[in-house]
Chain A
């Protein structure tokens, strides 16, 4: 089956209103995850949400909001996704409640303090652990289960920061960059199982994660990003930037010769 045929079959399967969307959301209290879920609830009539996050009160607030918006079921699981030892139990619990999910969406992350991480390995370790290691751990378990679910998709938020290392954010960037590389391989592996691996690369987004940064015109609202992510996941794209213009910004950035780039202050 060609890539287009696989895509078409999966798209039609995912898009039909009769086929309910069953969505595992990891990091369900993240601003981008919340907005994305809201768009799913608005655009598709009966979405089932399986929300995973570590703060009970907060994820319950997200669940209430989604329950009002969708006719599907909304369930909540309290797990710290940075705790790798709990992943096996989490996946078991999820698949007990929902043996045939259509989508998994990995939306947690930790921006960290790059300045501190430069001098202090424990901060760098935390950034790498939360953004890369814990994601790989979960993806290993998910891939094993999802490979039997033809037409399903695993979507992961990485970052434009992963496209090229720059002094302001290279530790976080390296973790997200490593995750990008992993996802490429996973996509390649899961293709023969007709399972999609979708990589989402947001630029600057106005969320609590970036609350320490001064906002400018490049910052997108989480609502805009949520809408873009919904479209990307529904269409089963391999990789996309949100908003779209970051694709071109990064195209330029990755092609700047190192001799010049190392002198820049961006």
Chain B
């Protein structure tokens, strides 16, 4: 038995075994159908989408080869274990960058597809899945690799993107990178002093900048409720010859911080200091891509800052209709509960429809909060927030989630039933057992009921 962890550290789970194939031909064990598997990249999902307590894991860390790169079109074909960091280090000196990047570069290509990740440019570029041209998928029921693409197999493609690793293992994929001239961006930081101002500023920034996100102070009260710092950036042509590599972390957290250090008072203090670290209201400068896109990667294993009990990530999206009251209510609930979040970000999503059946990003505003795990009270708060999101017809992000109920998932992801058809019967995950299996049993029960009813009527 081996122990695997997800990033939130709340759930360290035992898994039957971890297979680490070094070569693609070592994946043939799938066809033996002796166990149930889940592909595992770098384990940066927060909740249980990357855990498999009732089965085994297939680590893709050695499957990281580049199969082909076309310098004219920018299409990179690589094995799914290659990390976004490795892709950038390879492609940036050749004048290409990721078309969409999440907040950490320590994610595999397979993981980025399986969660259909999004980034600071969602309002223009949409999600990661849009840039995937082809996926080679290996299933327990296929003789050989399946070539999956939007053109040839649109449903399987749509099930695999954001498919949480349940439709089979992504062995390799083709991604269209975007041309850039430099490793630097022109960035602007602008303070806003309350939530209403955020929405005004955000609109302006979305028109001016390709990349936008705001840090928000969740502990501020009264007039300052919802204050924060808006960030915007565009690729620049300046400093075009410099520094075209990812930076390494300055240091790695050597131990788990004692959890009492993160409390209402220390976090309020941190937030106050963070908000006021920029004296001027506005700053414009040229910044390297690494600290702009990946500020948290500066500290290796930063999740240890939350202590051994770990933390919960709450990321929701609220549709445009309810954005103001929805965000206001969530922030109020969080603040009033005394549970504090300091790595809180807010961003407006664009309207480009996501590709995957279970893709999280959709039009509206997304809010991301971290809550140190203080036990029952934290769980209670998150359940309350889940209810608010449900009321507002929003959604929660499976890659971050550890607590949502099957009923909520059903509402958040109306295509869930369609997705069931594409799940490989020999793939599963802890998320699957918590959420999807109960729903599929419900469907089966409904079908049996209606079948029995029909039979009775016939007789």
Instruction: Let me know if A257 is at the binding interface, CB within 8 A.
Output: no
With a cutoff of 8 Å between Cβ atoms, the chain B residues found around residue A69 in the complex are 66, 90
Give the residue name and chain of the A residue nearest to B67 (CB). Answer: A64
Contacts of A111 in B (CB 8 A): none
Task: Decide: B22 and A61 in contact? CB cutoff 8 A.
Answer: no
Task: Output the nearest chain A residue to B21 by Cβ-Cβ distance.
Answer: A208
Question: Is A68 interfacial (CB-CB < 8 Å)?
Answer: yes
Q: Is B68 an interface residue (CB 8 A)?
A: yes
Q: Report whether A61 and B90 are in contact in the complex, using a CB–CB cutoff of 8 Å.
A: no
Residue contact B23 to A68, C-beta cutoff 8 Å? no
Q: Smallest distance from the beta carbon of A78 to chain B beta carbons, Å?
A: 15
Q: Decide if A65 touches B67 in the complex (CB within 8 Å).
A: yes
In the complex, residue of chain A having the shortest beta-carbon distance to the beta carbon of B245: A42
Q: Are B23 and A61 in contact (CB under 8 A)?
A: yes
Q: Does B449 contact A (CB under 8 A)?
A: no
**Shortest beta-carbon distance from B24 to chain A in Å:** 7
| Total A residues in contact with B, Cβ cutoff 8 Å | 11
Q: Which residues of B contact A68 (CB under 8 A)?
A: 66-69, 90
Assess whether A168 is interfacial by the CB under 8 Å rule. Answer: no
Q: Is the interface of B mostly helix, strand, loop or mixed?
A: mixed
* In contact, A61 and B24 (Cβ under 8 angstroms): yes
Residue from the set A57, A65, A68, A208 with the largest chain B CB neighbour count within 10 Å: A68
Q: Is the CB of A31 within 8 A of B22?
A: yes
A182-225 vs B: 1/0 string, CB under 8 Å?
A: 00000000000000000000000000100100000000000000
Any chain A CB within 8 A of the CB of B25?
yes
Please indicate the chain A residues that have their CB under 8 angstroms from the CB of B25 in the complex. 57-58
Query: Are B23 and A58 within 8 A (Cβ)?
Result: yes
Q: Which residues of A are found within 8 Å of B22, using beta-carbon distances?
A: 31, 208
User: Which of B20, B25, B66 has the most C-beta atoms of chain A within 10 angstroms of its own C-beta?
Assistant: B66
B203 within 8 Å of A (CB atoms): no
B173 to chain A minimum Cβ distance, whole angstroms, is: 15
B65 at the interface (CB under 8 A from A): yes
Q: Specify the chain B residue showing the minimal Cβ separation from A41.
A: B90
Asked if A169 is at the interface of the complex by the 8 Å CB criterion, the answer is: no
B residues touching A (Cβ–Cβ < 8 Å)? 20, 22-25, 62, 65-69, 90
Interface residues of A (CB under 8 A from B): 31, 57-58, 61-62, 64-65, 68-69, 208, 211
What are 19 pairs between A and B in contact, CB < 8 Å?
A31-B22, A31-B62, A57-B23, A57-B25, A58-B23, A58-B25, A61-B24, A61-B67, A62-B65, A64-B65, A64-B67, A64-B68, A65-B66, A68-B67, A68-B68, A68-B69, A68-B90, A69-B66, A69-B90
